[in-house]
Amino acid sequence: MSTHTPIGTPDVETTWLSDPIHRAFLLQDAQRQLDFFRPSLRADGAFDVLDWEGQPIAGAAQELHSTTRMVHSYVLGKALGRADADAMIDAGMAFLWNRHRDAEHGGYLWAVDDAGIKDGTKLAYGQVFVLLAASSAKLAGHPDADRLLADVSEVIDRHYWDEAPGLLRDEYTRDWQPFSTYRGMNANMHGVEAHLAAFEATGERLYLDRAGRILDFFITRMAAGNGWRVPEHYTDAWEVDPDYAGNPMFRPAGTTPGHSLELGRLTLQHWDLAGRPDDGAPERARHLVERALADAWTPEGGIVYTLDHGGAVAIPDRYWWPVSEAIGAIAALIKAQPAPGDEAWYRRLWTFADAAFIDHARGGWFPEIDPAGKPTGRQFQGKPDIYHSLQAALYPSLTGLSRHVEELAQQR
């Protein structure tokens, strides 16, 4: 464990969520992450991808999920009272509207660079992150949030939302030609996240209901019928496609335990926003989280990237984001319906993150560790984004499961 900052008291009777030393550690880590990524903003309003030292990586295109996550993250930073957050939010919002938005065909382009359009593919995964950014910006009172929120909501409604199953379609060419019959869990999971944010920002019930329909399919039906592991890949008839193997980063074969952890947290957030009905949601969330940790936590620490459909390890690589999501999921369970063992898991996860992923010298988190537990860069360029690790640092200390921006502002 790092000796730079205590991450909790030795008092086993005190939960780390309520421990002032741990809460100070969380805030310090969040601030250092925001410090590290702040210089990514260029004079022309674009964002550089940064290497481990915080220097720009030449030639890297700006991808839609990175722009949107930067907006969302610095909205959280603004709620913390950071004076430098507005410049990041303003730049990201302008870049989304002026560079990612396709003025000719509508929708939002996956990647752009100094020469123009690098990749015009229109993925549901990217569009829902635009919805998240617009919703977060609206909560922060940004003057351009409403137009972005209205535009991307119309895009999602027209092209992606499939009313009959209550799920999102996945991918189109720039001019809206479907180029595959692929359907996937990942875009839908982030669709839940974005729709919950949109509900919080607008109060419009449609967003909450759609998030609930997506969760019902993947959790109540798919996970419950598959040993509480969530199949990732589907046909256009929404039948599991067990043989699918696509992009090894975004669509690896098998199941992804990090996504189960993320879905567990989102299940609790939806349940909270829906008024905490007596519908078994906390129990379903716990099944997801406990199954993922039992399957994927390694003896030396860390969470493996993928499993086969029977739960055996497929890709043993250990990334920062599943640990981040495990922290958020366990914290949410502790706040909703704590159970024996939750506190031990919370401490274990943070102790490992502190030792293996947090860059105590420069700020931010290393994205990947090698088999010896040392930072490595086999899969990722530099430190790819702030989104997962910032939420790991901020969400546990909030007083509820949702309404993050308002709660952060109250704690300033």
DSSP H/E element including 119:
strand 116-119
For residue 244, CA distances in Å to 96, 183, 223, 259, 303 come to 32, 11, 18, 17, 22
Helix axes 124-139, 85-95, angle to 10 degrees: 140
Catalytic (active site) residue 388: yes
Distance CA(285)–CA(96), nearest Å, equals 33
Provide the pairing of β-strand 313-319 with 368-369.
antiparallel
Q: Which of 22, 72, 142, 259 is catalytic?
A: 259
DSSP H/E element including 124:
helix 124-139
The three-state secondary structure class of 386 is coil
Give the chain's end-to-end CA distance (angstroms, integer). Answer: 28
Q: Which of 22, 100, 388, 404 is catalytic?
A: 388
The three-state secondary structure class of 244 is coil
Q: Which tokens belong to 176?
A: 């809206």
Q: Which tokens belong to 278?
A: 């007596």
Query: Which letter, b or e, does each residue of 271-288 get, where b requires 16 or more Cβ atoms within 10 Å of its Cβ?
Result: bbbbeeeeeebbebbbbb
Q: Which tokens belong to 20?
A: 């002032």
Known catalytic residues? 259, 388
